[in-house]
Structure 1
Amino acid sequence: MIRPRIIATAFGLFASIAVAQNCAKIDPSAQLNVADGYTANAILNGMSMPRDIVFDTAGNLLVVEQGGAGIRHIVLTEDEDGNPCVASSAQLIDDRTLNHGIAFSQDGATLFVSSMGDVHTYPYDAEAGAVGERKTIITGMRSGGHTTRTLLIPVTAPDTLLISRGSDGNIDNTTVDTAAAKSIIKSFNITELLASTDVVDYATGGEVLGWGLRNSVGLGEDPSTGGIWSVENSADEIHRGGTDLHNENPAEELNYHGVLRDADDNPMKGLNYGYPACFSAWQTNGIPSGDGITVGSQFGGVTGTPYEEVAEAVAMGEVDEFCRAERQGPRLVFPAHTAPLDVKFREDGTAAYVAFHGSWNRSPPDGFRLGKIDFADGQPVAEVSDTDAVTYIVQNVDATQCPNGCFRPVGLAFDKKGRLFMTSDYTGELYVIGGV
């Protein structure tokens, strides 16, 4: 049952949540290694798998709780030193199907949320912290495999709703066709969605911004340029030419999608980024027939994917050349299986921050940290081949013990004062990061 605002304490729903009453300190659940010049303070815990987050126009924070609780409404305050802490925390929407996506219209009066199959809207009153009646505007996204549907409404293109949908399984060969509407980012006109009495089908509606994107959970906008970026979770357990490459390949990716406000003149619109046929390299040593493969370059011939048979019949290099020449490569790459789940930019565009959720099938484990990427003139300062493009500012002291006992960052959001907030789903925590 979907309810408007629910006061958590009235129903005893979230008694385990520790709120920073009077800005009392909350100890992080994991031991953190914080880089010089930065701070990482836990300000709320006890949440149920908190994922993506967004600020409303009144400065309150909304959190999607993937663990079956719906949307949480958090009122923030400050201590005597100006440090943020939680004044109150309560359930706003009770809907167990909501699992990740959340966004606001430019005026803050309409809240957008997503389940695996649908996108819904709610009228929203920021001052009252209340929602009205739900309306379903997009459907047809239900599938297996990856279930999150990330939402982004760019500041520089406020009438556009971006929706990212991942693959149905590890290697989903149906995604060679855009009609499958998977491993794709699509754009929709908000005015048309809200005015229509019909529910739009995701597969046939909207426009393709980018495809061949296995699972781009993180979407972000550089507000200084209007550039749209995504972070890619690439494939698991890959083999090429009978060799197991999965521990160090393929790389995770940072991909560029151009400027939406210049939609008619955006050369990046509609490009294919390679999946399921092509992947980016992180560790080049040991790749069979790997001459010409460099860090960040794309290669093919992976078992179970399109062109595998071609790769067996001809030189692997020809398949790799196809991937490099006919598919759009990443702007930066990250270590395999580190699982970037969000990317958010400073207002001045000088840096992007990426939440690396962490690996499940790598030995030793990797990820489980928050990273910073330097930007200039709308692009990363580093080249695609740079394996040191990310500065890690918050990480677990001992990642070999992950995922148990580790924080796992997911959602990121800047408030109006430029402070960075971050969720950790496995530990149920909300952090504020200083020094960004």
Structure 2
Amino acid sequence: MQFRNNTCLGLWALLIATARCQCNGISSLTTSYATPIAGDGWSAALIANGLSGARSILFDSNGALLVVRSGTGIVHLTFTDGGGTCLEVANTTYLVNSTTLNHGIALSADGNTLYASSSEAVYSWAYDPAAVTVSGTNKTLISGMSNDDHTTRTLLMSQKQPGTLIVSRGSNSNIDVEAESLSSGHSQIRAFNVDNVTDTPYEFTTSGRLLGWGLRNSVGVAEEPLTGGIYSVENSADEIQRNGTDIHQNNPGEEMNFHGTLSSTDNQGGNYGYPNCFAVWNTSIPDAGSLTVGSQMTIDATGNASITDAYCASTAVSPRLTFQAHMAPLDIIFLPNGTEAYVTFHGSWDRTAPVGYKVAAIAFNNGQPVAASDSLTATTDIFVNTDNANCPDSCFRPVGLALDQKQRLFMSSDATGEIYVLAKTGASSGAATGTGSAPSPTATHSAAARWELGGMMWLLTVLVIVGSL
């Protein structure tokens, strides 16, 4: 009997330690704001901080994470990986020091050429992922993109057409009248063959393959992995009126647009409406008529009486999906099997009640969203701030997304200079809850909480068995 009691006490101490050390000694970082919430079926952990201005992120061929820091350059991170969301930065290398780089990053198919963008140009370097070095000088591939206001130049290297680099350029202002002209080069997405660049860079406005125009600020661009379909997510206009009525709180909607594939010219090169036509999110607007969610409408800022809702319906490409106004989608990425896309919503400023500040999932099937184009519920929240009333000052603001070989989802937050990792746990995939409400009983605040709960459950099970001996 005495032996069994000592065994129980020893097991108790051992199992308590085990339950609290599920991350194999890897330390966990904490936030300076309320701990975010992961949705059912997900765990999440903060794994890096001190990276002010962290924007686009991308894994190289050796599994290191490359992070663009706006106004600073590109940082190379390696991790000590304890599995799941148990990661810790092992090494930090400043790969490219540049005050002009601000957002875009891509790699060639062989992983040996690095691409990055400033507000004016796209550059390339020879890259050695093993030595963690780049060539001493960079090459300018695409130029002529200077404008004010929306200065990010998103880069995407096609996996279906290697050597084809997609570049997204935004508008010059909230309502940029120059974007009405195709020759301006504003608010466009173009594709370039960067395998054949000479010493003379491409001029963005006159070169490349036009995938779409009339796109106010399509910061997020992705290639659907099964069909090769090109999708973008667009930040729409602020402070708008319609027929003299302020409708800016809930209109216009942010957009997900489809741009065909690089293997065909179908559904490609069209005018998506801006600066004349905008997607409806909330139909409680003047003269709504038959307008539905996603319909193209006019606003007062056009100043052109000939631009009507009927004109927009007949000339502008409608979005494949429409999101709540002012959520500011900044990135989109697909699972390799094409069943889900993930989108970062950076968050609003032009709205009384803040919205966005989250990562959401969108179901896909056969290369297309499952939800109808007029759906109000196409997204499922998977990572949210506890209360958006604290945003933007005391919350994460998601920007870039990247998937590693284990299909863990990595996310950057520029406002807080952080990197998070999210992993599926195999539980149900319900939405995360936040924005002023208490966390769901099944929502998780961090990977550490999940590991400790799991460890304690295992502990209790073992103790019951031992106690019965």
* TM-score, with length taken from structure 1: 0.89
The residue that corresponds to 1:199 in the other structure is: 201
CA distance in 2, matches of 1:266, 1:58: 35
Kept in 2: contact 1:173–1:306 (CA 8 A): no
Q: Which amino acid aligns with 2:414?
A: D
Kept in 2: contact 1:153–1:161 (CA 8 A): yes
CA distance in 1, matches of 2:331, 2:115: 18
Distance 1:152 1:306, change over 3 A: farther
Moved more, 410-419 or 84-93: 84-93
The residue that corresponds to 1:347 in the other structure is: 336
1:401: Cα distance to partner? 1.5
Q: Which amino acid aligns with 1:218?
A: G
The residue that corresponds to 1:269 in the other structure is: 268
Which ranges of structure 1 fall in alignment gaps of 5 or more residues?
1-19, 312-318
1:36: Cα distance to partner? 1.1
Task: Map Cα deviations across residues 7-60 of structure 1 (whole Å, 9 max, x no partner).
Answer: xxxxxxxxxxxxx99631112333212211111111000111100011110010
> Aligned runs of 1:14-29 on 2, under 5 Å?
23-29=26-32
Asked whether 1:118 is paired with 2:121, we answer yes
Find the partner of 1:54 among 54, 58, 79: 58
The residue that corresponds to 1:408 in the other structure is: 397
CA RMSD of aligned residues (A): 1.5
Distance 1:280 1:82, change over 3 A: closer
Asked whether 1:299 is paired with 2:297, we answer yes
Paired residue secondary structure (1:108): coil
CA distance in 2, matches of 1:46, 1:420: 20
The residue that corresponds to 1:91 in the other structure is: 94
> Aligned runs of 1:61-210 on 2, under 5 Å?
61-66=65-70, 68-79=71-82, 83-132=86-135, 133-193=137-197, 196-210=198-212
Q: Which has the larger radius of gyration?
A: 2
Kept in 2: contact 1:276–1:306 (CA 8 A): no
1:246: Cα distance to partner? 0.5
CA distance in 1, matches of 2:115, 2:398: 22
The residue that corresponds to 1:284 in the other structure is: 283
Q: Which amino acid aligns with 2:73?
A: G
Kept in 2: contact 1:211–1:271 (CA 8 A): yes
Moved more, 407-416 or 80-89: 80-89
Identity over aligned residues, as a percent? Answer: 47
CA distance in 1, matches of 2:365, 2:202: 38
Paired residue secondary structure (1:310): coil
Distance 1:81 1:387, change over 3 A: closer
CA distance in 1, matches of 2:380, 2:85: 27
Which ranges of structure 2 fall in alignment gaps of 5 or more residues?
1-22, 426-469
Paired residue secondary structure (1:416): coil
Distance 1:237 1:82, change over 3 A: closer
Kept in 2: contact 1:98–1:115 (CA 8 A): yes
Task: Map Cα deviations across residues 263-299 of structure 1 (whole Å, 9 max, x no partner).
Answer: xx331121111111100011111x1111011111111
1:258: Cα distance to partner? 1.1
Paired residue secondary structure (1:175): helix
Distance 1:82 1:249, change over 3 A: closer
1:157: Cα distance to partner? 1.3
- Of structures 1 and 2, the one scoring higher in RCO (CA 8 A, sep 6+) is 2
Find the partner of 2:382 among 364, 368, 393: 393
Task: Map Cα deviations across residues 52-89 of structure 1 (whole Å, 9 max, x no partner).
Answer: 011110010100001x2210110123126683332111
CA distance in 1, matches of 2:24, 2:104: 29
* TM-score, with length taken from structure 2: 0.83
Kept in 1: contact 2:85–2:422 (CA 8 A): no
Moved over 6 A (4+): none
Distance 1:135 1:80, change over 3 A: closer
Kept in 2: contact 1:21–1:87 (CA 8 A): no
Q: Which amino acid aligns with 1:368?
A: Y
Asked whether 1:321 is paired with 2:310, we answer yes
CA distance in 1, matches of 2:207, 2:55: 27
CA distance in 2, matches of 1:143, 1:326: 26
CA distance in 2, matches of 1:136, 1:190: 11
The residue that corresponds to 2:45 in the other structure is: 41
CA distance in 2, matches of 1:216, 1:153: 16
Asked whether 1:374 is paired with 2:363, we answer yes
Kept in 2: contact 1:23–1:86 (CA 8 A): no
What number of residue pairs does the alignment pair up? 401
CA distance in 2, matches of 1:266, 1:356: 30
The residue that corresponds to 2:252 in the other structure is: 250
CA distance in 2, matches of 1:324, 1:27: 49
Paired residue secondary structure (2:179): helix
Paired residue secondary structure (2:196): helix
Q: Which amino acid aligns with 1:364?
A: A
The residue that corresponds to 2:455 in the other structure is: none
Kept in 2: contact 1:28–1:41 (CA 8 A): no
Paired residue secondary structure (2:99): coil
1:203: Cα distance to partner? 1.2
Kept in 2: contact 1:149–1:217 (CA 8 A): yes
